[in-house]
Structure 1
């Protein structure tokens, strides 16, 4: 069995490396060649107030079987100076069931989440998009921004965050890319941005439907739990909606609210993999609003984990143990 420790993953897997595995597994899902297993998520209770769970799946096309185990420990940072999100990915041989790899999953989760929004920008944003808008400025936002900037010839970045002082993180990333950054209110962000990436943990809509101009592509990346919500449900009714997995979109993604309010139906939600495969045309006009509901699926984790194992072997960084 191969072990790739958490500390080794950032040096092995770049955001560019994560892009293709995520794109390919979305395509496999849409073809019916890969499936996610039901998610298990439990509250552990006690003083840690942790949430723990499993996301797994099987990609027949990529011959990848496994799961990600982990969750959220809200007091880790303050009590132990380690990140609150903790996860580990386990891969198995589909032919025998024997374990083949154990990989640290914290960095991989950030990389695959950024890759999924980047995939949506590649396939759905207008080719002439010039202004990138960011909603949210936490740790994951920097990954999102770096990945998004690779997909279009953006000329400037604008951003909004509930705590404006945190926007310095995004300003630094924009500066690395040689682009100007400006803090704006949500009205300006919605009217100026050609592409908007939202990455927050909000339980109330931040961006309103009336604030978004025609032709915008929005990647909603923060809603992955029942009750969370980043954008007004009416925005999904204005947009053509795409997602990583329809079943998750309607239960724990942005679409849960639009469905509950009767604004859209499940049939109106399209898998992004269908666009990648060419069975859905994607954007149909320069005026169309497109929205990607990125809920996060286990197959994304397995795809990037398999890639980092491959890179670790090539680089001579894989730790082999007998099982």
Structure 2
């Protein structure tokens, strides 16, 4: 099998390649050529960690496998990032293991690529102000990916702990955009596109905050109980997602569905917009992409990274 170590991926996988891989797999999902398997996600009862598996099969890209990993909230004490994962690819013709690929950076790239895909297809015309809610590790990837897609002229941001806001300011400076820290009232009123990427368990962005044509990429909620948005906001928006079943059960839409404000049938797969089966934004004032994170995204970026690594003789082949 092939081994592609985590420390080789940074110089190998580009955000553009991640965008293409994720956009293609979303399209394959909506046409029935790719499907995700049920997610397993459990609290370990050790180190306050969450651990699980996400897998699937993409018959269009011939990617079969799973991502194993989770969230260790105390890792910063050891100088490690909190999210840890490895992606395993298998030969769909024989079932033999094909590769083990470091999943930490790829997870960040595929999550950012998913929100960027939603921005390309759902952002209001002429969007110029990007709003960021959250300043954690993922935020820099999200901002960079969004900036490559949208013609933004400035970035505004909010974080629960203001001490972390310099990360947003530094990332904005890196991509050549001015940054300003604002409260959520201003962020909702001024931003044309909003990315929320937090680990919140209560709504941060409220319905009355959001004014005018806006697209929101809600990327933080991927577990039962987590929440970033006011359910009333979803009730007045057109809601899109990577996978409807996850959106309604563990994604941002779980709360609006539970309250009876929307039904699972009101949520549209983003792949329908990519393939032209759905008009997308249309005349809606607010659109929301509920990015729950699916195993097929991980397999798509891992397969793309492995192809690049083999072309450049970076991957290592071992016998098992």
| TM-score bin, normalised by smaller chain | over 0.9
Task: Give the Cα separation in 2 of the matches to 1:36 and 1:163.
Answer: 35
How many residue pairs get aligned? The number is 320
What secondary structure sits across from 2:204 in the alignment?
strand
Match of 2:9 in 1: 9
> Which aligned pairs between 1:111-130 and structure 2 lie closer than 5 A?
111-130=109-128
- From 163, 169, 184, the counterpart of 2:182: 184
Name 1:131's counterpart in structure 2. Answer: 129
1:177 Cα offset (Å): 1.6
Q: Secondary structure at the match of 1:82?
A: coil
Could you say which residue in structure 1 is the equivalent of 2:317?
320
* 1:89 is the counterpart of 2:110: no
TM-score by length of structure 1 reads: 0.97
Give, in angstroms, the shift of residue 207 of structure 1.
Answer: 0.4
Give a deviation string over 1:127-173, Cα, whole Å, max 9, x none. Answer: 30000000000010000000001111111000011111211111111
* Partner of residue 40, structure 1: 40
- What do the CA deviations read for 1:222-281 (whole angstroms, capped 9, x no partner)? 000000000100000110000000000000011100011111111110000000010001
Counterpart CA distance in 2 for 1:294 and 1:118 is 11
C-alpha separation in 1, matches of 2:72 and 2:140: 21
SS at match of 1:45: coil
Name the CA distance, whole Å, in 2 between partners of 1:185 and 1:97. Answer: 52
User: 1:271 aligned to 2:269?
Assistant: yes
String of CA shifts for 1:92-117, please: whole Å, max 9, x gaps.
00000011110000111000000000
Match of 1:300 in 2: 297
Which of these residues, 212, 217, 221, is aligned with residue 223 of structure 1? Answer: 221
- Give secondary structure in 2 for the equivalent of 1:91: strand
| 1:318 positional shift | 1.0
Question: Which runs of no fewer than 5 residues in structure 1 stay unpaired?
Answer: none
Q: Secondary structure at the match of 1:311?
A: helix
Q: TM-score, normalised by structure 2?
A: 0.98
1:149-298 superposed matches below 5 A: 149-285=147-283, 288-298=285-295
After TM superposition, the structure 1 = structure 2 runs for residues 67-106 of structure 1, keeping only pairs within 5 Å, are: 67-78=66-77, 80-106=78-104
The alignment partner of 1:111 has SS state of helix
SS in 1 for 2:212: coil
Partners of 2:131 and 2:42 lie apart in 1 by: 34
How far did 1:198 drift?
0.3
Question: Displacement, 1:45?
Answer: 1.6
**Secondary structure class of the residue paired with 1:12:** coil
The SS at the match of 1:35 is: strand
Aligned partner of residue 168 in structure 2, secondary structure: helix
Consecutive unaligned residues in structure 2, runs of 5 or more: none
Give the aligned partner of residue 309 of structure 1: 306
Question: CA contact under 8 A between 1:49 and 1:73: conserved in structure 2?
Answer: yes
